[in-house]
Amino acid sequence: MPSKVPHGGARGYIIPIGGAEEKENSREILSRFVTLSGGSDANIIVLPTASRMSDTGARYEAIFRELGAAHVEAMDFDSRRDCEELGRLQRLESATGVFMTGGNQLRLSTILGGTPVAKSLRQMNAMGVHVAGTSAGAAFISEHMIAFGEEGHSPIAGAARLAPGLGLTNRFIIDQHFRQRDRLGRLLAALAYNPFAHGLGLDEDTAAFIGPDNELEVVGSGAITVVDASCMSFSSMDSVKEGEPVCMLGVQLHILVAGATYNLHTRKASAGVLAGR
């Protein structure tokens, strides 16, 4: 569960990114993360745990330094034992921003889940530290995580397999590489199990910057598909067999592009700056 925000405090931004964010030319998403984290005073920790590529952490270290961050360090938590080392925890807790890379979200849940590192990340975010994740790192952010599933437009029973995530928030379920990998069906299937949460389908090079007021702003070159199943009047998920299509009635859907906003509390969408064009 999310950690409680101290009285008079404000939670840090939560920033899920749909993967394949621009790293070479217009680094709008990564640059904004650095600015939020303190700019030239930023102290950023990169967690490459999801990735099996040895250079992932070093690559993001170089990018964030080029964007002006004063202190950047990649910390490899390769085992659950690593997550209990006091020195590593103290270094993590000094950060003003934490960035989780892509890879395999099940590596994040099986290595970090239920450890002092996961607890620290929830407490840090509640105390104002900004936490971002791209691709697998984005999927891991919420309480309910899509571990894997099938592609396609329609919700199919069994198309989405859920697992516990980090738990920075319980307000949404993330799916990433959304339009590029045709994942609307599995996000709908996940919401058929749990209509309380919002579904956020993030295209590549697209991020949701979610502030302490639960206002989501879209940044990047793609779109975010917001699925609101809170008013769903019927779901056949409890009666269909695995592999069969699911009937869902009363689901609301929004397509948001850069500058558009969505309030996770009021469930209201706005075209934002686009409305003035």
Instruction: Tell me if the pTM is above 0.95.
Output: yes
Paired with 218 in beta bridges are: 208
Measured between alpha carbons, how far is 200 from 190 in angstroms, rounded to an integer?
11
Q: What is the pLDDT of residue 198?
A: 96
Q: What is the pLDDT of residue 69?
A: 98
CA-closest candidate to residue 80, choices 57, 54, 114: 114
Measured between alpha carbons, how far is 149 from 259 in angstroms, rounded to an integer?
30
Phi, psi of 220 (to 5 degrees): 125, -175
Q: What is the DSSP letter of 241?
A: P
Judged on CB neighbours under 10 Å (0-12, 13-18, 19+), 236 is: middle
Q: What is the pLDDT of residue 272?
A: 83
| Residuewise pLDDT in 10s, the chain (277 residues) | 799 999 999 999 999 999 999 999 999 999 999 999 999 999 999 999 999 999 999 999 999 999 999 999 999 999 999 999 999 999 999 999 999 999 999 999 999 999 999 999 999 999 999 999 999 999 999 999 999 999 999 999 999 999 999 999 999 999 999 999 999 999 999 999 878 899 999 999 999 999 999 999 999 999 999 999 999 999 999 999 999 999 999 999 999 999 999 999 999 999 986 655 5
For residue 166, is it left (φ>0), alpha (ψ between -120 and 50) or beta? alpha
Q: What is the pLDDT of residue 275?
A: 58
Residue 265 catalytic?
no
> Which one of the listed residues 204, 217, 235, 254 is annotated catalytic?
204
**Widest Cα–Cα separation across the chain:** 56
CA-closest candidate to residue 77, choices 40, 121, 20: 121
Measured between alpha carbons, how far is 168 from 214 in angstroms, rounded to an integer?
12
Measured between alpha carbons, how far is 245 from 175 in angstroms, rounded to an integer?
19
Q: Which domains does the chain have, with CATH numbers?
A: 14-269 (3.40.50.880)
Residue 135 catalytic?
yes
Measured between alpha carbons, how far is 252 from 208 in angstroms, rounded to an integer?
19
Residue 235 catalytic?
no
- Decide: 49 and 75 in contact? Cβ < 8 Å: no
> Which one of the listed residues 51, 109, 142, 177 is annotated catalytic?
177
Judged on CB neighbours under 10 Å (0-12, 13-18, 19+), 80 is: middle
pLDDT tens by residue, 36-94: 999 999 999 999 999 999 999 999 999 999 999 999 999 999 999 999 999 999 999 99
Give CB contacts under 8 A, 24+ apart, made by 262-267.
262/215, 262/216, 262/224, 262/226, 263/213, 263/214, 263/215, 263/216, 264/171, 264/172, 264/198, 264/210, 264/214, 264/215, 264/216, 265/213, 265/214, 267/198, 267/228, 267/230
Measured between alpha carbons, how far is 249 from 231 in angstroms, rounded to an integer?
9
Amino acid at 66: E
